[in-house]
Every structure is written in structure tokens, then in C-alpha cells.
Chains A and B, each alone.
Chain A
Amino acid sequence: MEELLVKYFRPKLPHIWCPGCGNGIVTASVVKAIDKLQLDQDKTAIVSGIGCSSRASGYLNFDTLHTAHGRAIPFATGIKLVKPDHNVIVLTGDGDATAIGGNHFIHAARRNINLTVVVFNNSIYGMTGGQYSPLTPHRGMATTAPFGNVDRPFDLCELAKGAGATFVARATTYHANLLADLIAKAIEHKGFALVEAITACPVSFGRQNKMGTPANMIKWQRDNAVMVEAMAKMKPEQLEGKFPIGVLHQAEGTEYVTEYQKVIKRAMGSGE
């Protein structure tokens, strides 16, 4: 990790995240994936929205763009269309990507545009102090759900798949190496790729939901995440409260930018 810090991080540490926040682990996984693939640092853009996780872009030594709340994906779409040979990686949170940015999320998936979207899912709005997000569990506690959350959460991976994403994966910060591998696969994939990273917010979510120390929250991930392949062999009673991790969906599909490049070729050929 130490060499990766020198190569891929700006000299801006320590970061702003709270003690025990898993965002640092997810960000490390992103960097490990980039290093594994030996991406050209000058041809990789990191785009983020607003919220705790979206501060990650500022620490990373690339062309980085900290956008407005919910809008990271459309900003990234503009970059990708004019720089088709650049890797465009979006770092966003559950509130940013699925509430205020939910429409952009599904439409980018529908287009199957070649973006890598890493959603740091901490189940809560952390930066504003613990309000429920579209990924807060039903009956979970939040400052705006003092009697328990009435909303039902999205299954983000199912949402992405349903919307047309061609690579969908999930891991947790406990499974940090798996997370890095999945992000690398997502970057390599030609099409819209989602990696949902389950991460702990001990201060704004854990405390309200009595989940204990940061270490305990990571152990909760360990005990409840199951490799999707293993899950298929489990009995229904064993699956109670469990969620799948690994590559959950992968498909071939026409990629938007590649297809648009063909449009340009056709249009330039025809002239006027």
C-alpha cells in the first residue's frame, strides 16, 4: 500500500473521513485495481458527486472532478464521449447515486456507456449526519426516521441489471481484495459497470443502529455477505439476512461510445 500511496495519492492525507469509516478501504481498492491494470495515470479521470465518498476524488492523483450532488455520472458521460480512450471512473455514494442521481444512474446503465461506477454504500447520508437514503434498510434507524425507516431500499445491483448494466458486482470492505479484483474487472469491462462496495459508517449509521465498533461493523459484513456461487448451494433458512457478493451479472452488449464513434464515421463519410 505504501508504494501505491506515493504513486496514486496526492500528498493530502490524512483524509477527512471519520475514525473507522470504510471509505478509505474502498478508495484503496480502487487504487489497487488501477495499479493491477497499470492504467495510464494521464488517461484516467476520476469523477465524484457530493457526499462523504465523493471526497475520494480529491485524494487521487489523476484528472479529478468533484461535481455537484447526484451528477457525477452525467459529468462523466460528457468526458467519456469526448475522450473515448480515457478510463472514466465514477466514485459515488448511495444517496448521491440512487436518490438525487438515480435517474442518471439508470440511464447510463441503459445506454451501456463504458463507465466504471463504484458506489460506496454505507446505507446512510453520512455527511449531513445520518438521514435515510434509498439504500437504508427497511426499519433501520436514521435521524429522519426516528421510529425506523418506512422506505424499502433498492437492491442496487438488481436495479443496475434491470436498467441494462452489463457488469454488476458487489463486495464489502471486509472482502477488500475481492473488492479490488471486482473493480479491476469492472474497469476492463467494455460497457456500464457497477461495483457496489458495502462500507461501514460507524458514526452516522452504526451508532444509530447499534452496530458496535468499526471492527464489529466489518465483522457484520464478513458474517452476512456470501459469495454468489456459494449462495446457490445454500438452503433458504441459511440465506436469511444474507446478501450475495462477487460478479452478479455480466453480459455482452452494444457499448454507447463505441457505437457513437461509428455514427461519427458514417456522418463524416457522408458529409453534406
Chain B
Amino acid sequence: MAKAVLMQGNHACAEGAIAAGARFFAGYPITPSTEVAELLAKRLPQVGGSFIQMEDEIAGMAAIIGASLAGTKSLTATSGPGFSLKQELIGYASMAEVPCVIVNVQRTGPSTGQPTSPAQGDVMQARWGSHGDRGVIALSPSSVPECFTLTVEAFNLAEKYRTPVVLLLDEIIGHMREKFVMPDPASLTIVNRKKPALPPGEFLPYKPEADGVAPMPGYGEGYRFHTTGLVHDYTGFPSGSNAVTHELIERLHTKITNNIDDIVKYEALELDDAEVAVVAFGGTARSAYAAIESARAEGIKAGLFRPITIWPVPEKQLFTVAEKVKTIIVAEMNYGQYVGEVRRVVCGKANVVSLAKWNNDPITPNELLNAIKAGR
């Protein structure tokens, strides 16, 4: 039995990557994510993997896509400005369907913003940051142990659906130290990308199977396949066809949306009889736990809906909550990003209130409690 240790979220993320089977990291130092890189610089070579500090954020993203195509599970870590710089290539990974994980320990923006304070400034950037249309997966852990499990989950989803997966941390979760017990590796579910069953010559590298995802060979396996960021047909080669373009871009969405029940994870707390629901994720959910407890102690029927999968939005589950409660309070450390999504999803079934805060301080339990009382 592994013993309990104090560990910070960024380190748990790095350990989760190792446990998921990641053996390559490329990135660039940026606060408040740097500890992910620092720990992996030490841990990866210990397990036969490779770490490289690149010349910039873009190069870090490029290198992990290259390594993943070659056949190695790969990740990078960054924060707001670096996440912006990586966007073109995150889109490349979507288009070329290259599994990879991007850890983004968010900050307040725009620009250099506030590098050392908690914020959740990139909720929308995670969804819409790269140009064009694509489906995305983004997960947001609320504790140190969850940094570990969701990093494993991020790799599993990336491998299963051949897509970049974003881990949206915030500085609270990334830098907080908490009790952590390393899970028994045998207890973890590890998903690896599907390999082609057909031999080279018969195999079409971008022909999806029933789940919307094509098997993926690695380099040196004799498939000699071509990868491009251009619109491409099943062969992987560029195509100018309207039908091919239509089908490919649609599939980049539907391979996510058609499998949404497999992808989404959420936590529902005290919602059965709730009149007021708080929607909160990441570090903000920590204050929500306390606020709900206080509210319940005062006899107020409040509950928490915590999307663990931020993207795609757990729409069905959120709608069900909206049908039962009077008010939904969306608490987030930004100017109000996810609240728009919640409003879209609940379609007026409940009163949606934004509790947005972007002044470097976390949203406190008291602020949430007051909002709950006002929303009754």
C-alpha cells in the first residue's frame, strides 16, 4: 500500500501522465504551470521517456504532436499566454487527429495578465481558441488526487477519440498541496489508441470506424501514412472536395458529441431537493462545497453541480438540474464565461445568475453563500 504524501496539483498531473503511459513532454516554462515540466524533466527519463524544453510554446506543441504521431503518448503544459500561442497547433492536432494532452494552469488575461494568482480565464479559449470548427474535450480537476486521475482520463480520452484534450487547472488546484495516495497502477484503466487490423496497402488511415475514429499506426510500422493539416480524405492526402470537407469537419464534432455519454463526467451534490444550484468547477468548486454546507446548516436547500468535463458541456445533466431548481449560480474566476453556456443549455428553465470574479482572489464561501441566499 502506497503511503500518503503531500503533493501539489501540478505534480499530481505529472505523475498522472506517467501513470497514463505518457513518455514524452515538450514545453516552455510558464507560471503557474512550470512544476509540471520540472517534475517531468526528472520523472520521464526515469521511466525511459524523454523531456525537452523547447525554444517557445509553439515548438512545445509541435514536438508533442510529432512524438505522438510517431507512437508515443505525449503532453505539454502551459498557462494563458502560452495556451494562446499553441492554439494553431492544437487545431492541427484536432484536424490531423493526433492524441495529446495540454495542461493549462489558467491565469487572468488578456496578455500577460496576472501570472501568479488564481483565475479561470481560458474556459472559452479551450473551446474556441483555435480557428475553424472542431469538437473539443476539456477537463477541470478540483483536487490534487483528481489532478492525477483526470490526467489519466485525459490521456484515455485523447487516445480513444484521437483528439487533443485540455486539462484546465487553476492556480488554486495547481499549487495547492493535499494528501495524495498513489493509486495501485493495476487499478487504473489505461486506454491505448486503436491499431490498424488491415495490412499496409489496404488500410486507409483516416477512414473512421463505427465510433467515428480511425485506427492509428505509428511510425516505423510499415504503413507509411501521410498526415496533413489540410482537409484530407480517408487516404490522408489533401482534398478540395466539398463532400470530403463537409464530412471531415462534421466528424471532428460528431466523434465527440455522439459519444458524449462516454465522455462527460460531473459531480452532483445535494441536488435532489435543491432550490438553488451552484455550478462551479476547478478551484471554485472548493468554495462551493463549503458554501453548500453552510447553506444547508441554515436550512437552505442548496446543491452543487460540478462539471468535471467542461467541454463538451454535460448538457443533459445540467438541463435536468435546471428543471428542478429555481436559481442556478454560475461561479467562476473570470468575467463570466461558462455562464453563457449554462444559459444556452438551460433554455430559461431556471434563473441563471453569474457570480464572476476576476480580481486575483478566489471566490469565497461567504460570497457564494450570499449569492445562494439572494437566489432563493
Contacts and interface: CB of A to CB of B under 8 A. Distances in A.
The answer to whether A binds B is: yes
B227 A65 contact: yes
A92 to B, nearest CB: 13
A58 B228 contact: yes
Contacts of A81: 24, 50, 52, 63, 67
Contacts, number: 136
Contact of A78 (B24, B45, B225, B226): B24
Nearest to A16: B238
A71 B220 contact: no
Interface string B54-90: 1110111011111111111010000000000000110
Interface stretch (A41-49, A135-143, A191-199, A207-215): A41-49
Interface string A61-84: 111111110010011111101110
14 contacts: A42-B222, A45-B70, A63-B220, A64-B226, A74-B62, A76-B66, A77-B52, A78-B67, A78-B74, A81-B52, A81-B67, A82-B50, A82-B71, A104-B55
B224 A42 contact: yes
B114 to A, nearest CB: 27
Interface in B106-123: none
Interface stretch (A29-37, A117-125, A152-160, A259-267): A259-267
B199 interface: no
Contact of A74 (B45, B59, B70): B59
Contacts of A103: 55-56, 59
A82 B23 CA distance: 8
Contacts of B64: 78
A86 B63 CA distance: 16
Interface residues of B, number: 46
Nearest to B67: A78
B89 to A, nearest CB: 6
Interface string B275-297: 00000000000000000000000
B74 A272 contact: no
Given A65-B66, A71-B59, A76-B66, A264 B223 contact: no
Contacts of A61: 224
B203 interface: no
A103 B62 CA distance: 13
Contacts of B238: 58
Contact of B219 (A57, A77, A86, A263): A86
Given A58-B237, A64-B224, A264-B50, A79 B45 contact: no
B338 interface: no
Question: Sorted from nearest, which 6 A-B pairs have the closest CB atoms?
Answer: A78-B66, A78-B63, A267-B45, A74-B62, A78-B67, A74-B59
Given A79-B66, A271-B46, A272-B46, 5 more contacts: A45-B219, A67-B62, A74-B58, A77-B26, A260-B45
Given A12-B237, A82-B67, A82-B71, A63 B225 contact: yes
B89 A71 contact: yes
B162 to A, nearest CB: 16
Contact of A107 (B42, B55, B92): B55
Interface residues of A, number: 40
A83 B220 contact: yes
B70 A263 contact: no
Secondary structure type dominating chain A contacts: helix
A85 to B, nearest CB: 8
A74 B226 CA distance: 18
B221 interface: yes
A123 to B, nearest CB: 25
Contact of A71 (B48, B58, B74): B58
A58 to B, nearest CB: 6
Nearest to B221: A42
A47 B226 CA distance: 10
Secondary structure type dominating chain B contacts: mixed
Contacts of B23: 82
Interface string B194-227: 0000000000000000000000000111111111
Nearest to A80: B66
B229 interface: yes
A165 B230 CA distance: 31
Nearest to B64: A78
A186 B220 CA distance: 21
A238 interface: no
Contacts of B62: 67-68, 71, 74-75, 77-78, 104
Given A71-B89, A103-B56, A79 B226 contact: no
A75 B54 CA distance: 11
A268 interface: yes
Contacts of B59: 71, 74, 77, 103-104, 107
A128 interface: no
A270 interface: yes
B45 A66 contact: no
Contacts of B47: 268
Contacts of B228: 58, 66
Nearest to A107: B55
B45 A77 contact: no
A164 to B, nearest CB: 13
Which of A61, A82, A260 is most buried by chain B, counting CB atoms within 10 A of its CB?
A: A82
A68 B89 contact: yes
Contacts of B219: 45, 63, 79, 83, 86
B98 to A, nearest CB: 10
A10 B252 CA distance: 27
Contacts of B70: 45, 63, 78-79, 82-83, 86
B224 A79 contact: no
B252 to A, nearest CB: 17
A79 B69 contact: yes
A73 B108 CA distance: 32
Nearest to B68: A78
Contacts of B50: 81-82, 260, 264
Interface in A127-153: none
